[in-house]
Amino acid sequence: MSSPSTRAVSPFSVVIVFLLALLPSIWALSLPPIQNLTAILDDVRNDDAKGWMARRADASLAGYLGVFFLGADPFVYFYLSNGNNAVSLKALNKGSPIMRPTKGTGGVRDPTIIPGGGAEEGKKWYIIGTDLNIGKTSWDAAQRTGSRGIYVWESTDLINWTNERLVVVEDNTAGMVWAPEAIWDPSKGQYLVHWASKFYPTSDPRHTGSPSAIRIRYAHTPDFKSFSPPQTLIDKSPTNIIDLTILPLSGSSFLRFMKDETKKTVFVEVSTTGLWGTWTRPGGPDAIIQSGVEGPAAYLDNLDPSKIHLLLDFYGGDGYRPFESSSAVVTNSGWVGSSRAGWPANLRLDLTDFHMRRKNRSEG
């Protein structure tokens, strides 16, 4: 979730998800099916999705799918890549929403699909998102007395999305819960869910005073119903940190991109010792990828084992622009602009990638 001064003028936001299987069409409760999706996606349930963490190309991965919201229309939508082109997208379902929240504020922002982990791998998926309809409130109020819950939907086939719920994950001192994302944490055997929050003193129950710096919080959950008590994952006070996204590479190697909301810059940190290992900032404490941007979203390329894609929202200009790096060692430098020939104009997204596995021709 971006800062109020920037997200207020942002017409689009998307999260492209990192999955390995799709069914032939996706339905949104009682909404119509996505138009022409059967001809585009493969009918596969992928019983062997073990390699998604590896930083390598996979010829069986057929494309990229995204869930997203429109800034002025906070519902869940889908975008699909044109073939296996990681930076060329088109709207599905004729641009109509797939899901409309019925709880909380009635508006969902920053939706993302979480592939099942552990025993749920290849069998279950979740969509989570921010509970915020900015048309019903102000950006100031959204940070002082905003929702402390996250939206959750679940599916066993990627067609039917059920069990909509709004789960409170923060305590009463939090002013908001923004931009939740999740990743399977093998060390805990549960999902690690993280989000951005700021806090007010217990002596200020109405949250009218000065809050803490924005920090990244987290909890673990086995089912997106019950959550462990929230704890702090990243605190760089007095710097405000938002828009965290984590990209697994191979083995115990991970990247995490985030925005310094104080300086309005995006940077990356690297761990080669797991999610709970030591994180370092290549180039030092002042190294950045880009200034004047937000909402970093990173995903691996299906075809090029050396390439990582990164989307950055130029919120003062034309929205998201795709970048890429083919460096053997990921740093805060060396990111170059990708071709925007197939990139939708004025699109504002939060992207991680979604891979679709091709069906074997022998399956018919």
Nearest to 43 by CA among 62, 68, 17, 16: 62
Instruction: Please give the tally of structural domains in the chain.
Output: 1
At 127-139, the pLDDT tens digits run 999 999 999 999 9
Per-residue tokens: 317: 């200009």
How many Cβ atoms sit within 10 Å of the Cβ of residue 170?
Answer: 21
Residues 6+ positions from 30 with CB-CB distance below 8 Å: none
Q: Report residue 359 as tokens.
A: 């069906």
pTM: 0.81
CATH (domain of 90) = 2.115.10
- Rounded mean pLDDT of 86-111? 90
Do the Cβ atoms of 262 and 198 come closer than 8 Å?
Answer: no
Helix (H, G, I), strand (E, B) or coil at 362: helix
pLDDT bucket at 91, cuts 50 / 70 / 90 = confident
Domain encompassing residue 156: 4-363
The Cα 172–Cα 165 span in angstroms is 19
> What pLDDT, in 10s, does the model give residues 105-114?
999 988 888 8
| pLDDT over 50 (residue 7) | no
Give the angle 134-261-141 at the CA atoms, nearest 5°. Answer: 30
Long-range CB contacts (within 8 A, 24+) of 280-289: 281/332, 282/329, 282/330, 282/331, 282/332, 282/333, 283/331, 283/332, 283/333, 287/331, 287/332, 287/333, 288/260, 288/263, 288/332, 289/257, 289/265, 289/323, 289/332, 289/333, 289/335
pLDDT tens sequence across 258-290: 999 999 999 999 999 999 999 999 999 999 999
* Amino acid symbol at 122: G
Q: Which pLDDT band holds residue 37 (cuts at 50, 70, 90)? A: very low
Please give the pLDDT value at position 1: 61
pLDDT digits (tens, 9 = 90+) for 143-193: 999 999 999 999 998 778 899 999 999 999 999 999 999 999 999 999 999
List the strands of the sheet with 254-260, edge to edge. Answer: 241-248, 254-260, 265-271, 290-291
- CA 24/CA 107 separation, integer angstroms: 28
